[in-house]
Amino acid sequence: MFQVYLETIFVTGTAGAGKSLLTSKLMEWYKDNNFYPISLNLDPGVVSLPYEPDVDVRNYIDISKIMSEHNLGPNGALIMAADLIATKLDEIQEEVYNLNPDFVIADTPGQIELFIFRASGPYFVSNFQSDNKINIFAFDGILASSSPINFISIALMATSVRLRLNISQIDVMTKRDLVIDKLGEIIRWSSKSSLEDSLQNEKNIEYSILSKDLLHALFKNKLMQNPILISSLTMSGMVNLTAALSRVLNLGEDKGD
């Protein structure tokens, strides 16, 4: 089937980071700027979403049916459902092609380990047909800002996701509006030396030393990104995020230029 041009933005991140809300706000931004985006829900276990999916994996994978047919509990059913996502790639791809969007914004499962660290998720990302692909990794702003050790731990998770998916990635920190009082400190953590200084104040010396070693490895291999601070509530930071997406996806040029 003929497809003019398609760009796909996957949204991943820690549980509770606000992936689905970010998906809805990205949809809103692109629509307001005269693009045609569609939303793709890849979470077969989600109950409700802040947007109406244009393409929904729940139309192909039924958690309740999996539980009854295979005598599984909720966790076992979620694992099986996550593994089944890859088997529905062709049907999902056809639905997307039929809609012929400019952008696909793919909202991934809340349980990040089910999508990223099992075979199905990376297989889906690798084999989904798109001219360009990028991943947004969402740090939970409240969790990441609580301590420099938490910040580094989530940065390590973001690096793991980048290595597993093997596509370009932009890191964002959500809930900017809820961590206003900590913004200065978070911004300072973008500097290796400042982050090291903050680790000096950690009470657990063993964890502090381990975090420093991880920090050095991330910076040495150029895997440490400064997350873009955003608020899905106020839309603060959304211009910075979409500009970064444009630079990576289109070498800084909008498709309409």
DSSP string, 103-165: EEEEEPPSSHHHHHSSSHHHHHHHHS--SEEEEEEEE-HHHHTT-HHHHHHHHHHHHHHHHHH
* CATH code, domain with 88: 3.40.50.300
Residue 66 lies in a domain: yes
* DSSP string across 119-134: SHHHHHHHHS--SEEE
Establish if 150 belongs to a structural domain.
yes
> Has residue 207 been placed in a domain?
no
Query: What pLDDT was estimated at residue 38?
Result: 98
pLDDT at 192: 82
Give the pLDDT score at 1: 47
Number of structural domains found in the chain = 1
Residue 255 lies in a domain: no
pLDDT score at 178: 92
The answer as to whether 242 is a domain residue is yes
Domain encompassing residue 159? 7-180+227-250
CB 162 within 8 A of CB 168: no
Is residue 98 a part of any domain in this protein?
yes
Q: Is residue 192 part of a domain?
A: no
Q: Kindly report the pTM of this predicted structure.
A: 0.91
Per-residue pLDDT of the chain (257 residues; tens, 9 = 90+): 445 589 999 999 988 999 999 999 999 999 999 999 999 999 999 999 999 999 999 999 999 999 999 999 999 999 999 999 999 999 999 999 999 999 999 999 988 999 999 999 999 999 999 999 999 999 999 999 988 888 999 999 999 999 999 999 999 999 999 999 988 888 888 788 888 888 877 777 887 888 888 888 888 887 788 899 999 989 999 999 999 999 999 874 444 44
Q: What is the pLDDT of residue 187?
A: 84
Is 243 among the domain residues? yes
